[in-house]
Structure 1
């Protein structure tokens, strides 16, 4: 029952965000049409897409560092490729198929399903902590205009406490529970060993995203807004799109948040243009990540699962059986 309520609320919020974005787009269509697009604009979009694509790749490496047996070089890059290729699936309705896809592809690379699921769980945890950390830190800087500083100071303190707990529990094994489901839940909740490296990588990724957003604003808007405000608003919008269930790739939700947050300090056309350009940037970044994943997959091809290898040998189609 609770799952249905949360899902319905997520879809309702997504549709409301789409309606709001459509309204402000129509209201500012003339102002957007007057924007003089040039070669520098295209260069700025491509540069930002490469930076955000690099941030996504850092997240892929972070996830792979938490995967089972990541110290094996071939398996590590196989898992990175699985993350990179399936990340585009987040644009499917439901905003969950990229999680499923990376686990399926990763398991074909001899990864362990439970371990990969645990890595995904802690990737979500790290993304939440690190995005709030970067956004709150930027909101506390001079010129952010983000409201009372004490709220962001409390958020920052809570995030630091959460990070400290993760580092303290890293690598600790849970006691076996009673029953299969309890044991599975405890195993999923085990903090991966060496989580300090994924934590640092995730912080780097959100720092790169914030920097790309600031660069896009400076390239496309003549309205002077302090960079901490742009960085904080964008990272918070990313978090909102990340947690709202049903929003494919945060589509609509992030744009609505950016327009609502930045319009009081800039002009509404400038905020709408920034939101639309950043959507183009992150979409291109997903394609950059997909291309990187395909290159890595070609360099480190997945091995067939042990059962499939055995079946091929028995049928005489494997290397050990004198193939056809």
Structure 2
């Protein structure tokens, strides 16, 4: 679709690389924030590990940018020009939207959990949001699982079983998968309402 709109391969490839880095960084950041909210009983070593992951997640786009500029791919990808500060400014709006997406998705996961087991408090809400973001990352980076099918559900069940029990956690995972698939279909169908002239005219 990008090629049909006149976007070059190098631009599309570069955007894909930084989108992947931004998504992983955003998901890790939300997972860490949720874990800190819901990890009152966590050990200091656990918290320290989370902060290390946070640092790695936040530096991932800059690390990738630095590595790609020094590899043979620098001529194939259209990378953002300028310093790391310029890259930060360019990615900040997208990164904040990624974080909002994962936070709201975690809230959506919290809804069936609350319906089946009742409100468990802010700590469990934080753990739920943290668990979703972590399960998304696992489903995203593990090959052979389209849209993380099976991977995300397994992590959700393992993480939520200790909070609400295995039957309820399995039901929550299946309901949430149904919700996300339905949402994807609705968003796909709604895209047909936008005419191609809006893109080609730059609107």
TM range (shorter): 0.7 to 0.9
- Give 1:161 deviation, angstroms: 3.5
What is residue 294 of structure 1 aligned with on the other side? 192
What is residue 232 of structure 1 aligned with on the other side? 130
Say which structure is richer in helix.
2
Which protein has the larger Cα radius of gyration, Structure 1 or Structure 2?
1
What is residue 141 of structure 2 aligned with on the other side? 243
What is residue 67 of structure 1 aligned with on the other side? none
Residues 26 and 102 in structure 2, CA contact (< 8 A), matched pair in contact too: yes
- Give 1:283 deviation, angstroms: 0.2
| Distance (Å, rounded) in 2 between the aligned partners of 1:215 and 1:269 | 16
Residues 38 and 125 in structure 2, CA contact (< 8 A), matched pair in contact too: no
What is residue 279 of structure 1 aligned with on the other side? 177
- Give 1:112 deviation, angstroms: 1.1
Unaligned runs of 5+ in 1: 1-104, 304-324
Are residues 1:260 and 2:186 paired?
Answer: no
| Distance (Å, rounded) in 2 between the aligned partners of 1:111 and 1:284 | 30
Give the aligned CA root-mean-square deviation in angstroms: 2.8
Going from structure 1 to structure 2, the CA distance change for 1:280 and 1:151 (only over 3 Å counts) comes to same
Question: What is the aligned length?
Answer: 188
| Distance (Å, rounded) in 2 between the aligned partners of 1:144 and 1:284 | 35
- 1:23-62 Cα shifts (integer Å, max 9, x gaps): xxxxxxxxxxxxxxxxxxxxxxxxxxxxxxxxxxxxxxxx
| Distance (Å, rounded) in 2 between the aligned partners of 1:126 and 1:294 | 27
Residues 206 and 235 in structure 1, CA contact (< 8 A), matched pair in contact too: yes
Higher relative contact order (CA 8 A, sep 6+): 1
- Give 1:135 deviation, angstroms: 0.4
Structural mapping, 1:34-45, within 5 Å? none
Q: TM-score, normalised by structure 2?
A: 0.79
Are residues 1:123 and 2:12 paired?
Answer: no
Among 94, 97, 118, which residue is 1:222 paired with?
118
